[in-house]
A and B are shown apart, each in its own frame.
Chain A
């Protein structure tokens, strides 16, 4: 999905480690074929609704070695299950707090609202996540 790279992306690719990112995405929000590009190792989990992402799924993704976990939900007001995306946001907030308590850092987990087909937005989110991982480093548990 990424065809040309900016200078910034090239510099990201030169990082010491190749981050693992797990993305739980509502299949209405972003039905994307996530590809592993040079920058990171992506794992996409397609969900029938972002709200179906249980707390334990998020935590187990970290147990499996993810350096960052993302949840992609539909924009506010556009959830097919009325408020699934809002509930997902609250749950993510709760797990972020747990990650802080655990010592992994809540910054490794984030939720974004994405409109279906908006590849540019997804690319931007990934770029931001990779940039954030520069500071956070690898998952200390993996």
Chain B
């Protein structure tokens, strides 16, 4: 999933302060799963902002709505009437969702209430970890199913570096050394000879280096 984290209240408050009324728009997909922007978080944030503005003696009307997915136009349509009744929209979706909403409502300021952090997993309750960088050319087969591009601090394709100690990364002792994990997995299924292979430099064109990416599926076009 796309993992996100709600921005600090102070930052959000400053962002919406110029408006007398605004809509907090939640997203019921990824950010809901990581407790950053679903229905529950919309309600909590709305209440917190009402209190914060109330304390300052400012009257603010906050509308609340959560749609299934902000990255699909079809779902955003449900927000149209509420959005147009308000001076601004505070989106609690990932960066993609915020921009999708913005493109649908060109005359209304759309503000981000969430920091999109990474593509990752729920490792255990309360712990989310990064697992993919979206490089556009998956190489998990070459690295025993562990991605060094997203999980090695130096993106080493021929690691580990000299900073691997007791299975942990020198950059953060709480982070597993991706290369230790790669080696462990290859050992587990007896393919350690693959570790001798020189992995050539990556072609980053499929990643963010190639400019904004586009995926075309003509069979799905209408």
Interface members, chain A 50-106 (any B CB < 8 Å): 54-56, 59-60, 62-63, 98, 101-104
Tell me whether chain A's interface is mostly helix, strand or loop, or mixed: helix
Cα of A59 to Cα of B43 in the assembled complex, Å: 10
Which of B8, B10, B44, B55 is A59 in contact with, Cβ under 8 Å? B44
Let me know if B168 is at the binding interface, CB within 8 A.
no
Q: Are B43 and A141 in contact (CB under 8 A)?
A: no
Chain A residue numbers with a CB within 8 Å of B54 are 63, 140-141
Let me know if B80 is at the binding interface, CB within 8 A.
no
Which of B8, B9, B51 is A63 in contact with, Cβ under 8 Å? B51
Cα of A140 to Cα of B54 in the assembled complex, Å: 8
Cα of A60 to Cα of B43 in the assembled complex, Å: 10
Nearest opposing residue in chain B for A87, CB measure: B125
Q: What is the 8 Å Cβ interface bit string for chain B, positions 1-26, against chain A (1 contact, 0 not)?
A: 00000001110000000000000000
Q: Are B10 and A60 in contact (CB under 8 A)?
A: no
Q: Are B51 and A55 in contact (CB under 8 A)?
A: no
Let me know if B48 is at the binding interface, CB within 8 A.
yes
Q: Are B40 and A102 in contact (CB under 8 A)?
A: no
Interface members, chain B 89-103 (any A CB < 8 Å): none
Chain B residue numbers with a CB within 8 Å of A56 are 40, 43-44, 47
Interface members, chain A 98-142 (any B CB < 8 Å): 98, 101-104, 140-141
B51 to chain A, nearest CB (A): 5
Chain A residue numbers with a CB within 8 Å of B55 are 102-104, 140-141
Q: Are B47 and A63 in contact (CB under 8 A)?
A: yes
Cα of A103 to Cα of B55 in the assembled complex, Å: 7
Nearest opposing residue in chain A for B43, CB measure: A56
Interface members, chain B 40-89 (any A CB < 8 Å): 40, 43-44, 47-48, 50-52, 54-55
Chain A residue numbers with a CB within 8 Å of B52 are 101-103
Q: A101-B10, A104-B55 are in contact. Are A54 and B40 (CB under 8 A)?
A: yes
Cα of A98 to Cα of B52 in the assembled complex, Å: 10
Nearest opposing residue in chain A for B49, CB measure: A102
Q: Are A63 and B50 in contact (CB under 8 A)?
A: yes
Q: A101-B10, A102-B9 are in contact. Are A141 and B51 (CB under 8 A)?
A: yes
Chain A residue numbers with a CB within 8 Å of B50 are 63
A22 to chain B, nearest CB (A): 14
Cα of A48 to Cα of B54 in the assembled complex, Å: 31
Q: What is the 8 Å Cβ interface bit string for chain B, positions 114-157, against chain A (1 contact, 0 not)?
A: 00000000000000000000000000000000000000000000
Q: What is the 8 Å Cβ interface bit string for chain B, positions 157-169, against chain A (1 contact, 0 not)?
A: 0000000000000
Q: Are A101 and B40 in contact (CB under 8 A)?
A: no
Chain A residue numbers with a CB within 8 Å of B44 are 54-56, 59
30 pairs, CB–CB < 8 Å, chain A vs chain B? A54-B40, A54-B44, A55-B40, A56-B43, A56-B44, A56-B47, A59-B44, A59-B47, A59-B48, A59-B51, A60-B47, A62-B51, A63-B47, A63-B51, A63-B54, A98-B48, A101-B8, A101-B9, A101-B48, A102-B9, A102-B51, A102-B52, A103-B52, A104-B51, A104-B55, A140-B54, A140-B55, A141-B51, A141-B54, A141-B55
A residues touching B (Cβ–Cβ < 8 Å)?
A: 54-56, 59-60, 62-63, 98, 101-104, 140-141
B residues touching A (Cβ–Cβ < 8 Å)?
A: 8-10, 40, 43-44, 47-48, 50-52, 54-55
